[in-house]
Structure 1
Amino acid sequence: MGRPLSPHSAQVIDLATVRQRHQARKCVIRLAPELDGLEMVYQLAANPDTLYGLPILAWGLRDDGDVVGLVPWMEGLSACSELDSHENGHFIGYRDPETDEIFDTPPEHKYAELVAAAEYFEYEASKDVTLIQQLPDTLGTHALCMNHPDSPWCMKPVFGWRLYSDGSVEALLADEEKAQMTPILLGDACLYDARSRHQTVYFFQRHIANRILEEDPATLEALAMMVVPCDEDQEDA
Structure 2
Amino acid sequence: MGIPMSPRPARVIDLETMRQRQAARRRLIRLSPELDGLEMVYQLPAEPGTYYGMPLLAWGLREDGRVVGLVPWMEHLTPCQQLDDPEHGHFIGYRDPETEELFEQAPEHKVLELEQAAAYFEYEATHEPTLIQQLPDTQGTHALCMDQDDMPWQLKQVFGWRLYSDGGVEALLADETQIESTPILPGDPCLYTGHSRHRMVYFFQRQIANRIRQEDPATLEALALMVMPEEE
TM-score, length basis structure 2: 0.93
Give 1:129's aligned residue: 129
Give 2:182's aligned residue: 182
Give 1:42's aligned residue: 42
Give 1:110's aligned residue: 110
Cα distance in structure 2, aligned partners of 1:213 and 1:52? 23
Cα distance in structure 1, aligned partners of 2:165 and 2:146? 27
- Please tell me whether Structure 1 or Structure 2 has the larger radius of gyration of its CA atoms: 2
Residues 199/81 of structure 1: CA separation in 2 closer, same or farther (3 Å cut): same
Amino acid at match of 1:228: M
Identical columns (%) = 70
Give 1:25's aligned residue: 25
Amino acid at match of 1:115: E
TM-score, length basis structure 1: 0.92
Give 1:6's aligned residue: none
User: What do the CA deviations read for 1:155-187 (whole angstroms, capped 9, x no partner)?
Assistant: 000000000000000000000110100000010
Give 1:156's aligned residue: 156
Give 2:89's aligned residue: 89
> Is 2:143 the counterpart of 1:143?
yes
> Is 2:39 the counterpart of 1:62?
no
Cα distance in structure 2, aligned partners of 1:225 and 1:117? 42
Amino acid at match of 1:76: H
Give 2:210's aligned residue: 210
User: What do the CA deviations read for 1:98-140 (whole angstroms, capped 9, x no partner)?
Assistant: 1001111110110000000000011111112100100000010
Give 1:199's aligned residue: 199
Amino acid at match of 2:161: W
CA drift at 1:52: 0.5
Cα distance in structure 1, aligned partners of 2:11 and 2:128? 29
Give 2:52's aligned residue: 52
User: What do the CA deviations read for 1:7-49 (whole angstroms, capped 9, x no partner)?
Assistant: xxx9865443332111100000000000000000001112111
Query: SS at the partner of 1:47?
Result: coil
Give 2:4's aligned residue: none
User: What do the CA deviations read for 1:172-214 (whole angstroms, capped 9, x no partner)?
Assistant: 0000110100000010000000000000010000000000011
Amino acid at match of 1:213: R
Cα distance in structure 1, aligned partners of 2:129 and 2:164? 6
Gaps of 5+ in 2: 1-9
Cα distance in structure 2, aligned partners of 1:108 and 1:174? 35
CA drift at 1:149: 2.2
Cα distance in structure 2, aligned partners of 1:86 and 1:16? 27
CA drift at 1:151: 1.3
Q: What's the C-alpha RMSD, in Å, of the aligned pairs?
A: 1.6
